[in-house]
Every structure is written in structure tokens, then in C-alpha cells.
Structure 1
Amino acid sequence: MFSKLFTAAVLLFSFSMAFSQSDTGQKINTKLIKVNNKIYMLQGKGGNIGLSFGNDGIFMIDDQFAEHIEQIQEEIKTVSEKPVQFLVNTHFHADHTGANAVLAEAGTVIFSHDNVRVRLQEMIENEKKKIPQEILPMVTFSEDMTFYYNGEKIYVFHVHNAHTDGDALVYFTKSNVLHTGDVFFNGKYPYIDTANGGSIMGVINALEKAKLLINEETKIIPGHGEIGSYSDLQKTIDMLTNTYKKVTVQYINKKTEEEISQMKDITQLYDNEGYGNGFITTEAYLKMLYNEVAKERSYIEDNDEKNRKALEKIEQMKRERNEKQKN
């Protein structure tokens, strides 16, 4: 499973490389955007990178692909010549951890949730192509951790079974900037890695948890997409909740996965705003919702069946007791 996921990510990157270079072979474009104070977002061919610059050094969130790290480093040097001292991986996918080994060899200390290291270790063991051990985070945590760096408190916390089973969100408390990793795709349908512990309800719960920390002035660096706001986060929660409910109704009405994947009226409001133009198409998103609903309903239906059998057994015991009393 992990081998297939890693290979798919590499193939996706190779495809992007082929179609993103110019005829002259120029490097893929990167874009460094100031978010707030000394916090920046760096966009390229992978998940959005977060960067904190200051007197202590450089604090980095995610690092895209190894093939891209040289250009990323060049962008970073336009702001600071200091080294990247700390790196937080928001989850294990290759477009967020691919350059780990390069940075580790340069002296960067890598942090992540426990499950990120577990997933990466499994990749190393299962991949035919050799993956360097240096890709592994050096420090892991189970729930949360705090950095005091570049003049502010940086709160890193785990959200359970959201995009994956090892997601971390990073909140810069002074700058009021939140990096969500792939728990939040801004303006696009999300990819939820259900094969590796992700779930739509986990994503919704994670975003609700994030709302408790932030406010309407918070700027949000999403895993993919442009810089977001509190209202963008709320819009995504509403989108996920509404479409999930609609698919649930259709599932209860015995509609098949194929039938539901073609019901564009479920997502029409969001399709009109371009949500289906990203990596995840409308059809793929609806199929993911169907499978999530099927899992949830299977659990509910299984419990209902167990309760029905228990009630039947109780009724049988009552009848037997009544028969004994009569005799």
C-alpha cells in the first residue's frame, strides 16, 4: 500500500515536471509570498511551504520534493542567509517530505507526529528504489509541542484521522498565522488519504478544532491553494458537511457509487466556483464521499443488526421465563 502511494506521488511529480518546464528547460516556477510579519509561504510543485525568518534562524514547514530543493533554497536566501534550523512535516506524503534527507544532511532538525515517522519507515522498507534513512524525522510527538523561536510561540498540534493519521497543524501565535498542511485545501476539493487513516469526519473535526485557536484576522497557509482566511476555512467546513450529508441521503436511497459520482447537483454550488478544477475532480470527490458514507453506514447497520439480535434474545428469554412461571 505504501509502495503504491509513494510511487504514485513520484509519478505525479514527474508528470508535473514534464509539463511545467518551458521549451528552454528553465526551472519550475516558485513563488515566495509574505503572509504576515516575518512569516512567508513558498509555492512550487508540491504542498505549500511555511517559513519563519528571524534572529534565531529559519523555521520551515514541509519541503516539497528533493528535485526542487535547490530552487527552494535559492528563494529562501532572498530573505535570509541563515540556515534552516528546524523543519516540521505536517504529514508523510512525498510532496511535503521529499527534501527531508537533503535538509537533514545540511543540519536541519526534522520534527513530525509519531505516525509520520512510522509511515516513512515503512516506505523505506517496502520501496525497491532506495530511500535514504535521513528522510526520517529526528524528533516525534504524540499530541502537541511548542517552539519558542524567532520571538514568538509556535504551537504544533496533532489532529486525528484527518487527511492522514499523522497530521499536524502549526500556529504562529504572535504573527497569527496557521499552517494546516493538507487538512485544508483552499478553494478545491480535498484529497483525503483514507487508506492511511484519513477520514472526512476527521477533516471536519480538525478544522473545527483549528477554529478554536484562530480568529477572523488569522491568515492561513493551506496545504494547497492560495493564502486563506477564517471565512475560507468555514466555507470548506460547510462544503464538506453539506456534500457529505447529501451523499448520505442518496446512499440511504440505495444509489450506487457510479450513480452518485454523476450527481453533479450535489456539488453544483462549489463546481461553479472551480472546486473541481484541482487535483481532485468532482467525480473523484463524490466517489470518496460515497466510500466514506458506506463505511460509516456499514458500522451503523452492523450495530443495528447486533441490537436487533440482542432484543430478539431478550424477548425469547422473557417468553421462556413466562412459560416456566405458568408451569
Structure 2
Amino acid sequence: MPKLETRLTRTFNLQYPILSAPMAFAAGGRLAAAVSRKGGLGIIGGGYGDPAWLEEQFALAQGVPVGVGFITWSLRKSPSMLTDVLKHRPVAVMLSFGDPRPFVDEIRAAGARIICQCQNMGHIMDAADIGADVIVAQGSEAGGHGAVRGTMTLVPEAADYIRATAPDSILVAAGGIADGRGLAAALMLGAEGVLMGTRFWASSDSLVHDGHRAALLEADGDGTIRTQVADIARQIAWPIEFTARIRQNAFTRRWHGHEDALRKEAATVGPIYRKGFAEGDAEQTGVFFGEAAGLIHSIESVDTLIEQINQQALDCLAGPATRLTSDRP
């Protein structure tokens, strides 16, 4: 099958310009390895920091070249996690939601590349300033944590800035990208690849509970909301500039807009929330997926997904508008 070649594929020796997002509690070693085996770059989600869990996930990756991602403000509380993970020689380390500077030297000294995920132009400028190998422009459509800029305008603005100030950095687009049309559009906007979260979250290779996958298949692009309520219930102190995009459900209807009340009851609500999350309850807990839910109509393996995405992108870039249709049966 013909493939799309960009600086991203050449730099990381990939067959496809596709990275999987390091989604906390969803992107484990199995998912990351599946993406890398197929010719993309899979990234394990380091989440909030569980050294034993990370060791387990690298073991599950079975030596396949993968990356690892960290929530940067959380990593600052336990920087030894980075030191431990670098012993596994990840291809790249992705830093999101905080200043990457404290970790740059250690990552480079270990021979790993640096990926910075950015939600606005200020973040883009910081990533360019440190010479990040890859800069991910993440739009608000993305599932999980993010900010307010939309993908359609952030990506080309970032492309112009990077081209002028940090031409060695590679731009990757994220946020609402779930099929080949999104990949083709990202390339046209100036990116050299995509980072996909929700589409791989909904794959058979992720750590996501079947109950949450089923909830995604029932949703459309209007079925999510950006909110703080999941973090308040979990008593995780996220920086105020970031909210989480999660499924609209009984939990969000009860608490979104009533955050102060939730803070007062978090000690009671939190255990119920965590139990529901572990059991795949799609109504009384946060279900972390993005607006791309409306483009996803089945649960597939990574192998199948990447082939479909590549072929659809090639078809889109080849020409006729009649090809720009959903692959939905």
C-alpha cells in the first residue's frame, strides 16, 4: 500500500505519520506497541505517576520501540520517574501541560527525542524555544485535558511560527482527528503528521473498559463537554487553564455548574466516582473521549485502523470531493 512520507516518518523511521496519544489509564504498553509494530509511533501514558504500573507497561511493550508521555506539572513532583523510565530507552518523551524546561537536558542525555504538546501559541513558543523535536498543536476538540483553541486555526498558525523560528521542529496536529480525512486535512494545514487519542482509545488494544467503549459508540460529536468536575471528584488539582473533555452524562449534568458544591462533597463523591470508573459505569463517572466520537462507529484493532486511515488520507489527497466521505457503512 502506498504511504505518506513526511519529516515525521523519516525522523522516526515510521511507515505512517501517526502517533498515538499517551492517554492516562488508556494508553498502555499493549496499545503503544501495536501502533509502533504497525508503523506509527505508540506512546505509553505515564499519567500521574505510578512507577510500578509504568514498569509493567514497558514489559508489555516487549521491547518494541515506543515513547512515553508525562503530565509535566505532575512529573515535577516526582522527577525520579523520568530517570527510571529513561532506562527503558523510549524513542521519545512527550511533555504536556507545563513547562518542559526542567526535563529537557535529562531526556536529551538519554538519547530520546522530545515531544511537546501545546494548546496555545504561548506553549508553541516555549516548545520552539527549547528546540523540541516534535511540537504537537492540540485543539480543544480533543478528549481529555486541553484548553480552548480549535485545531483548524491553531495548526496553521503554529506552522507559520515554527517555519519562521524553529524550522528543525516537526509540527504534529491533534484534536478531533479520527480518520484519514483528518490526517489529510492536518497535512494541508501545515502539519507533518497527527497524534490521535480518541480513535485509539476506542480500539480493541486500549485499556478502556468495554462499558466506556460502548458509551462512545452511542455518542456523537455533540455528546461531550469541557469541564472540571472529573478532576474535582478525583481531587486532582489541575492548573486552572486546563479542563477535561468528557462524555456528557448523569455525572456532568449533576455537577457541571455546581463545582463549589462538588468540592464540598468530593470526599464522598470521589470513592463512588473511582469505583464507577473501574467498573465501566458510563453515567456516574468521567468518560474521557473527544468530539471525534461522532466519527467512530466500531471498535477495531490498531492494525485495521491504521490501514484504513492511511488509505482514506491517500484517497482524499488524490482529489475528487466524492472521495471525502465517511467510511461508515
Q: TM-score with structure 2 length normalisation?
A: 0.33
Instruction: Select the structure with the greater relative contact order (CA < 8 A; seq sep ≥ 6).
Output: 2
Q: TM-score, normalised by structure 1?
A: 0.34
